[in-house]
Amino acid sequence: MTLKSVDTLLDVLHFADSHTAVIVPELGIRVSYDSLRQQVLAMADALATAGIRRGDRVAIVLPNGLPAIVSFLAASIAGTAAPLNPAYPYEEFFFFLEDTAARLLICPPTGAEEARSAAADRNIPVFSVEMSDQGTVRLLNAPKGISATAPSADDVALVLHTSGSTGRPKRVPLRHFNLAVSSANIANTYALSPEDVSLCIMPLFHIHGLVASILATLVSGGIVVAPTKFNPLAFWRVVREYRVSWYSGVPTMHQLLLARTRGEKPADARSLRFIRSASAPLSPEIIHRMEEVFGVPFVEAYGMTEAAHQMTSNPLPPRHRKRGSVGVGIGIRISIMDEQGNDLGTNQRGEVVIQGANVFRGYENNPEANASSFVNGWFRTGDQGFLDADCYLHLTGRIKDLIIRGGENIAPREIDEVLLQHLAVAEAVTFGFPHPTLGEEVAAAVVLHEPESETESTLLKFCRERLAEFKSPKRIYVVESIPTTATGKIRRRAVAAALLDEQG
């Protein structure tokens, strides 16, 4: 399919016809492209009448679903959308409402009390959004009288915060053309068409769900199935009922779905064309099991907020998928640089740097971060990796997470993947701990499929047989769970801090 050129998120809704755009599975509601466009424009006009102008931030605290989609698109057209995690406590709402300079907050008709309280303390007006039984979304008591002006490609459509584990979160402003280009890149990567049906299980306060699941589907004229939350128990019923052809998720979601199959392909999975994974790494062993069980290509992609999500992806057949890599760049330039900003050759490890129309221009009001994040026009991702002879990117870990043991740089992810080869290990995370002479030593935490099925000593022996001595963990902790962020990223430093603190 040849995609129509889009410059703004308003252009994403160019399919003004009766073809279904969004399905609300809990209610069996189908909303056409024409209806979606009208609802978005009506809410954008209401926001404009409420005083929202170009660049004004509209905070959105909504669960997944049609109201979140309409509110995001309307806010991006009238001003700038600033979706927030509905699970935040009062203190975080209070911080993020100030940090984004939110002019208005959109909430559900009931609930979201902590967000409402924080908004009241910030003197920010709150509007409730409701959905009728027919799938019509509107602001309650919506003001009327002013029409929102159409955005330009260079206007900021969305502002999100980085999910860094240390320091103050950085604001990432993404322009309409960043999002439009990224959406088209994703649609082209997977040859999305009006025949495709995407099941959106990623949260819509995160770039993964917004761009991959929603915008890439809409820009290709497909259908988005948008439940209010990810429910492993109802997942395959929804796939069967709406003939879902693909979904994108994070490793924890894939592993939950895989565990429930007991090694047999669900009969309800017949409509699937492919499965996509992003936002956090997944071991090659799990990918192999996913493809064996579900019988469709499993493609791992690599993205980040600063690039409006996707940077690379393993391609679909007939092109080759390389397990252990995150694929090739689509519509973006990838390079590997050393600490001095010099380009490195094939199979040489260094920092992954990117250029492209989907890449943002810089963090808001943070000249120090911008000075360290860009080199010679390239954005420094903070990830270490290498490009092979076929230009497939292989990630070896976050540079800040590297364990430096006696002058040797050790990538924690490499050890994670060895531990995950053990049949008893469900999850693994590797980290460094202080050592008096070596600087750091290697430790890991694991979650077992069956509690007490393995001991620390047998897991240590397993690693020693597969890793160089200097890389092998010297401690392994068996834990009940490994903390992750709301979008599935392992909180490596949080694990290390908690376990090392327990050891005194």
**How many Å apart are CA 442 and CA 231, to the nearest integer?**
36
Mean pLDDT confidence for 405-429: 87
Q: Which two tokens stand for residue 162?
A: 């980085």
**How many Å apart are CA 254 and CA 424, to the nearest integer?**
18
Check residue 166 and give its pLDDT: 43
CATH of 319-398, one of 2.30.38.10, 1.25.60.10, 1.10.3290.10, 3.40.190.10: 2.30.38.10
Quick one: 9-298 is in which CATH superfamily? Answer: ANL, N-terminal domain (3.40.50.12780)
| pLDDT per residue as tens digits for the range 435-466 | 887 888 999 999 998 888 888 999 999 999 99
C-beta pairs of 453-460 under 8 Å, 24+ apart in sequence? 453/424, 454/422, 454/424, 454/425, 454/478, 459/419, 459/422, 459/425
**How many Å apart are CA 328 and CA 394, to the nearest integer?**
10
Q: Assign 53 a pLDDT band (cuts: 50, 70, 90).
A: very high
Mean pLDDT confidence for 91-97: 93
Q: What is the third-level CATH fold of 402-502?
A: GMP Synthetase; Chain A, domain 3 (3.30.300)
**How many Å apart are CA 312 and CA 66, to the nearest integer?**
29
Q: Assign 242 a pLDDT band (cuts: 50, 70, 90).
A: very high
pLDDT for residue 1 is more than 60: no
Residue extents of the structural domains in the chain: 9-298, 319-398, 402-502
pLDDT for residue 2 is more than 70: no
pLDDT for residue 165 is more than 50: no
Q: Assign 489 a pLDDT band (cuts: 50, 70, 90).
A: confident
- Taking only Cα atoms into account, the Rg of the chain, rounded to an integer number of angstroms, comes to 23
pTM of the complete model: 0.87
Check residue 135 and give its pLDDT: 95
pLDDT for residue 200 is more than 60: yes
Q: Assign 163 a pLDDT band (cuts: 50, 70, 90).
A: low
Q: Assign 336 a pLDDT band (cuts: 50, 70, 90).
A: very high
Average pLDDT, the chain: 92
In the 8-state DSSP scheme, what is residue 343? Answer: B
Check residue 164 and give its pLDDT: 47
pLDDT for residue 280 is more than 90: no
pLDDT for residue 291 is more than 90: yes
